[in-house]
Structure 1
Amino acid sequence: MTKLDDIDRAIVIATQGGLPLVADPYGAVADALGLSAEVVIARLDAMQQDGVVRRIGVVPNHYALGYRFNGMTVWDVADDHVEEAGRRLCATGVVSHCYQRPRLLPDWPYNIFAMIHARDEAAATALVERLATALGPLARGHRVLFSTRILKKTGLRLGRQQGGGTPCSG
């Protein structure tokens, strides 16, 4: 396990809620911590290389962008075709994330999950049809579970205590 020094910990705490929405977000973080933007960027890059930080990216609020029909499509695909099915779903360009999950037989035969986002029901239906076409005979069945509300998406949050304590796992 990688132990964070005080500077890395301060950078994680300063950025874990998101980067500031300013022209120079790394500079703003650096100013708040008494560092240079170059140090902040280099340390975030090193933490990403070490696996401490998985990724830095945008997490859009689909509802605020007008995408009201957000659906998790679930697919029943033979286990030996899962990787091919995942590649086909992602190749459509309309899936925001796709992953395999265990079946819960006999009630839940679905093992591939792929999220879609649409502005209206007709557009969502068209996207699901597009995915079904991409999968072709690999798909033995599917359903769509539409979101009824947005959930707050956050990862692990470090506290502000001093020292390099380890988070609880479980």
Structure 2
Amino acid sequence: MTTPLDPIDRAIVVATQDGLPLVDKPYHEVARQVGTSAEDVMNRMERMLHEGVIRRIGVVPNHYALGYKFNGMTVWDVADQDIAEAGRRVGELEFVSHCYHRPRHLPDWPYSLFAMIHAKEKADADALVQRVADALGPLSRGHLVLFSSRILKKTGLRL
């Protein structure tokens, strides 16, 4: 971070840490709450995003409320030398919402590539997993699918 947070920056972070207001003009509402203009809010948030104060601005859907009952973290055993290529292949799939390289913990956990899929029906989820497997081809040495049963966390750090 190159610019320290001033009181308005801090107020913007506090006002948005649970999400932007669900109104037609959310930046105008934040501006009203913190006592500045919508343009100033947007400029400050863009600067804080660029400087790493804000990690990202994006939608955090509740997949269950949208009818997606089969939310699976697929985990793949990929050789270390192949992880960049495997990650590129999986990350390019339009239905993968998250794709991560994570350390394996041998001998119990050989999986190093994680990819999240979402489907409304089990058969659809299975088909998506197969598409990931097809994309990886021989780069995959095995996989598991860990289906979630509820939302455990949808928040970040709070001030």
> Any idea what the Cα deviations from partners look like across 1:2-55, whole Å, max 9, x if unmatched?
531111000100111111111100001111122110111111111111111111
Distance across 2 between alignment mates of 1:94 and 1:42: 32
1:141 equivalenced with 2:139 (yes/no)? no
Distance across 2 between alignment mates of 1:13 and 1:112: 34
Paired residue secondary structure (1:124) = helix
- Tell me the number of residue pairs that the alignment of Structure 1 and Structure 2 aligns: 158
What residue identity is the alignment partner of 1:31? R
> Any idea what the Cα deviations from partners look like across 1:101-126, whole Å, max 9, x if unmatched?
11111111111000000001000000
Paired residue for 1:161? none
Paired residue for 1:6? 7
> Any idea what the Cα deviations from partners look like across 1:103-159, whole Å, max 9, x if unmatched?
11111111100000000100000000000000000001001000011113111101x
What residue identity is the alignment partner of 2:4? K
Paired residue for 1:164? none
1:155 equivalenced with 2:148 (yes/no)? no
Paired residue for 2:131? 130
5+ long unaligned stretches in structure 1: 159-170
TM-score (norm 2): 0.96
**1:90, distance to aligned residue in structure 2 (A):** 1.4
Paired residue for 1:37? 38
Q: Comparing 17-26 with 146-155, which one deviates more in the overlay?
A: 146-155
What residue identity is the alignment partner of 1:53? I
What residue identity is the alignment partner of 1:150? I
Within a 5 Å distance, the mapping from 1:82-161 to structure 2 comes to 82-158=83-159
Distance across 1 between alignment mates of 2:143 and 2:78: 9
Distance across 2 between alignment mates of 1:34 and 1:105: 54
What residue identity is the alignment partner of 2:73? M
Paired residue secondary structure (1:140) = strand
Distance across 2 between alignment mates of 1:52 and 1:32: 20
TM-score (norm 1): 0.90
| Pairwise CA RMSD | 1.0
Paired residue for 2:47? 46
5+ long unaligned stretches in structure 2: none
